[in-house]
Chain A
């Protein structure tokens, strides 16, 4: 097991298989396409410009570099979490107000927040591979790669 230490952004503990991308994420373009209107396709990435196209974000520990695009972002993530279709935790290289809004809103208004950790260093991509089980502690910033 390897342990990484990042900066805690949103509290909470969770674990799941890692889903990793090195390409910035437009959550709005990803989850507001016609296919996403159907409950069982809600969490399928539908941004056809992205390398995660057609991948399912549900239950994953989602690792990505930065957020781009619309101010719908927080609402999209809130909706995914409220419907139990969101990631289990988020690790981001450069945290931003739009993504952070999702888990914060889900926590305050629905009691369904998820932990978020900022981890700027590139070694995250060498240490965690897609599919690896990862445990995240949003209180301390610790990332356990099992």
Chain B
């Protein structure tokens, strides 16, 4: 890899030992993938916001960074908090490093958005921007829907890029890797975007799928992507005539697709919860709900009362907006709990063995004891829809 004089000097240790180690991390990361140079980034997004007790290496590295007074060089947002205050187990057994971690993140100068949908307000990239983001669902939204360019960066790689201000140029930063690979045909009567994402993640694993035209909403793209990046390792997808780098099939593919697959209604329906399983907790918001998404769902609970515990998990800045809307009061009156935490982390340890019912394909993959339902299925489980 060819470094410029500034990068060479950082690597040599001119800006201190820890900064040199951060640079060494970024350089070795690039070399592993044949990157020819490091490029400046517009922003970073960090995924490491859960202070999981036994996982100490992350905190140790952050402490070294803070001890030399290093701060992020670019605007840097962070993922949601894990529900530290939710219960005794989270506070005293699982997230026992949470307060130290948040203090360290503050010390390196992050934007305290604490949300995985950072691209909505706190950290909005433009088309073509080069980024060093972590968080599989945010990476995918930035690449696919916004046309920005980031690899799927791990926790700590994201930190090293943020404090050096550089990321190696390989993978999804390069045109060649952003073209479509697998053509996806739809044979579907009723769209269920998160289920489609889950099925596609399974089928395409880490390739770039191109879905034939369907008028997905922004919310559907977000929830489909979140699922696809959990059941698969998809960093980028295209929708013909909808996402910015897929105006038509000819442009998005470089020659014929390497494979064509068809997703059917049966594939989607196979994930859905059965009527007999409809008890437990209903959780909306993984990835976290946006303001618009919350309004659309909250509307369906107006003047009703949930029959089983029901949670809305919103990004904090989206919740601030929601609190000013009359539907916020209606939501609380319906008996719904409104949270700003990451439901994946918050509910990973559950004392009572209650099952979770959710319209999130991402949560379906990560947690034990989860049933997936369409939005209507979940409303039926809540007892507010016949």
Contact = CB atoms under 8 A, between A and B. Distances in A.
Q: How large is the interface on A (under 10, 10 to 19, 20 to 34, 35 or more residues)?
A: 35 or more
Nearest to B171: A97
Interface in A96-117: 96-98, 100-102, 104-110, 116
Interface string A99-140: 011101111111000001000000000000000000000000
Interface of B: 21, 24-25, 28-29, 32-33, 47-48, 52-58, 60-61, 64, 93-94, 134-136, 139, 151-158, 171, 201, 205-206, 229-233, 348-349, 365-366, 368
Nearest to B64: A109
Nearest to A46: B368
A71 interface: yes
Contacts of B55: 75-76, 79
21 contacts: A9-B32, A10-B32, A24-B206, A37-B54, A37-B94, A68-B233, A69-B366, A70-B47, A70-B136, A71-B135, A72-B154, A74-B154, A75-B154, A75-B155, A76-B55, A97-B152, A101-B156, A105-B154, A106-B57, A107-B28, A109-B57
Nearest to A28: B366
A37 B155 CA distance: 19
B32 A95 contact: yes
B154 A33 contact: no
Contacts of A97: 29, 33, 151-154, 157, 171
B233 A109 contact: no
Nearest to A73: B154
Nearest to A31: B55
Contact of A105 (B53, B56, B156): B156
Contact of A96 (B28, B60, B135, B152): B152
Nearest to A82: B57
A60 interface: no
Contacts of A95: 32-33
A66 B154 CA distance: 15
B1 to A, nearest CB: 14
Contacts of A82: 56-57
A67 interface: yes
> Top 5 nearest A-B pairs by Cβ distance?
A74-B154, A101-B154, A71-B134, A75-B155, A68-B233
Interface of A: 9-10, 24, 26, 28-29, 32-34, 37, 39, 42, 48-49, 65-76, 78-79, 82, 94-98, 100-102, 104-110, 116
A69 B365 contact: yes
Given A68-B233, A100-B32, A29 B365 contact: yes
A98 B232 CA distance: 13
Nearest to A100: B32
Contacts of B158: 71
B28 A104 contact: yes
A67 B136 CA distance: 12
A104 to B, nearest CB: 5
B58 A79 contact: yes
A75 to B, nearest CB: 4
A69 B136 contact: yes
Contacts of B134: 71
Nearest to B139: A71
A72 to B, nearest CB: 6
A78 B156 contact: yes
A34 B349 contact: yes
Given A71-B158, A79-B56, A100-B29, A33 B368 contact: yes
B204 to A, nearest CB: 10
Nearest to B134: A71
A81 to B, nearest CB: 8
B32 A70 contact: no
Contacts of B53: 37
A71 B155 contact: yes
A74 B132 CA distance: 15
Contacts of B48: 72, 75
Contacts of B21: 108-109
B47 A68 contact: no
Nearest to B232: A68
Contacts of B32: 9-10, 95, 100, 104, 116
Contacts of B366: 28-29, 69-70
A1 to B, nearest CB: 28
A104 B325 CA distance: 48
Contacts of B233: 24, 66-69, 96, 98
B154 A67 contact: no
Contact of A79 (B29, B57, B93, B139): B57
- Residue of A48, A49, A97, A106 ringed by the most chain B CB atoms within 10 A: A97
Nearest to B231: A68
- Residue of A24, A39, A101 ringed by the most chain B CB atoms within 10 A: A101
